[in-house]
Amino acid sequence: MLKRGSNPLWRFPGVAPTALIVFAYLYLPIFILIAYSFNENRLATIWTGFTFDWYGVVLNNPDIMRAARNSLIVASSATFMATLSAIIAGLCMTRDSFRGQQGVNAIMALPLIVPEIVTAVATLLFFVIIGMKLGLMTVIIAHTVFCIPFAYLPIRARLQGMDPRLEEAAADLYADPWRTFRRVTLPLLWPGILSGAMLAFIISLDTFVITYFVAGAGATTLPVYIFGMIRIGITPEVNAVSALMLLVSIAFVTLSFLIGRIQR
């Protein structure tokens, strides 16, 4: 924790109020959303009383539950495949040097700057051209591709920060390349893999535009479902679903943080 006075930033006037405003700007809407998920009134903007009912409504809505299940299936599959690709890519990019490496690195990061709508249209066109039927599978494939750079960045950072002498030391101590990987590289890479996977999972859980384009009938995920609900009108039910998603995200971050702590 920073102590007042130890950080030279405090010398400037108005640092504290500015920080407060920024945090309010970031988090106040979320607090309001959560607060109104406990609103008794059907109209989301008028507060009449406290209730847990909307959570019950959400959990008893088979459509929402199906969307949630889809979201989890898509996110888990996409995370697994994206992280695996990211590990392999990371190992290739840091343990070897070849011509055009910079270029490959740029291409790996490209999905981060390409507007999502472009990716979405392109992916949809691609599936149509190869004649693939839109469904849960197409969503998983699209999410995997989209999630790779998110999983890749922390894994590559971890690999780059790793002392290459450690792998040499393992080889020097008679470990063949596979055992060097299993006994030295992988355990040291683990925190990077974990944060990469976590990032990929949350990105996949949350991606709306791409999903909206490539999801076929019956492949509706939670964000797409919520969007559908909102078109009818914002109800506390929407707030409740959103609050639950937030809870899942927070749980995930906390879990990975705790695992990271135990690792150390």
Partner 1 sequence: MESVSEAAIEARRLTKVFDGPGGEVRALDNVDLIIRKNEFFTLLGPSGCGKTTLLRLVAGFEQPSGGELLMDGEAIAERPPHRRPVNTVFQSYALFPHMTVAENVGFGLEMMGRPREEIGQRVERMLALVKLEGMGPRRPNQLSGGQQQRVALARALANQPKVLLLDEPLSALDFKLRKEMQIELKRLQSETGITFVFVTHDQEEALTMSDRIAVMSDGNVLQIGSPTEIYEHPTSRFVADFIGETNLLTGRLSERMASSLRFELDSGGLLEGQEDGGNETGARVTLAVRPERAEISREGSGLAARIEQIVYFGTDTHYHLRLDEQTPFVVRHQNRSGATSRFSQGEEVRVTISPDAIRVLQD
> What is the binding site for partner 1 (CB under 8 A)?
163, 165-166, 168-176, 179-180, 183-184, 187-188
Minimum separation from the CB atom of position 32 to partner 1 (A): 45
State which residue, 148 or 184, has the beta carbon closest to partner 1. 184
Per the DSSP assignment, residues forming a β-bridge with 39 are 50
State which residue, 170 or 215, has the beta carbon closest to partner 1. 170
Long-range contacts at 181-184 (CB < 8 A, ≥ 24 apart): none
Minimum separation from the CB atom of position 102 to partner 1 (A): 13
State which residue, 124 or 175, has the beta carbon closest to partner 1. 175
Minimum separation from the CB atom of position 72 to partner 1 (A): 32
* One-character DSSP codes across 234-258: --HHHHHHHHHHHHHHHHHHHHHHH
* Distance (Å, whole) CA 241 – CA 189: 35
State which residue, 106 or 166, has the beta carbon closest to partner 1. 166
State which residue, 12 or 178, has the beta carbon closest to partner 1. 178
Residue 3: DSSP 8-state: P
Minimum separation from the CB atom of position 8 to partner 1 (A): 30
Minimum separation from the CB atom of position 76 to partner 1 (A): 27
Minimum separation from the CB atom of position 166 to partner 1 (A): 5
**The two structure tokens encoding residue 238:** 């929407």
State which residue, 12 or 98, has the beta carbon closest to partner 1. 98
Using left for φ > 0, alpha for ψ between -120 and 50, and beta otherwise, residue 175 falls in: beta
Minimum separation from the CB atom of position 105 to partner 1 (A): 17
Handedness of CA 174, 180, 185, 187 (dihedral sign): negative
The answer to whether the CB of 151 falls within 8 A of the CB of 86 is yes
State which residue, 185 or 220, has the beta carbon closest to partner 1. 185
* Distance (Å, whole) CA 245 – CA 179: 40
236 contact partners, CB below 8 Å, separation of at least 6: 36, 37, 38, 39, 41, 42, 44, 54
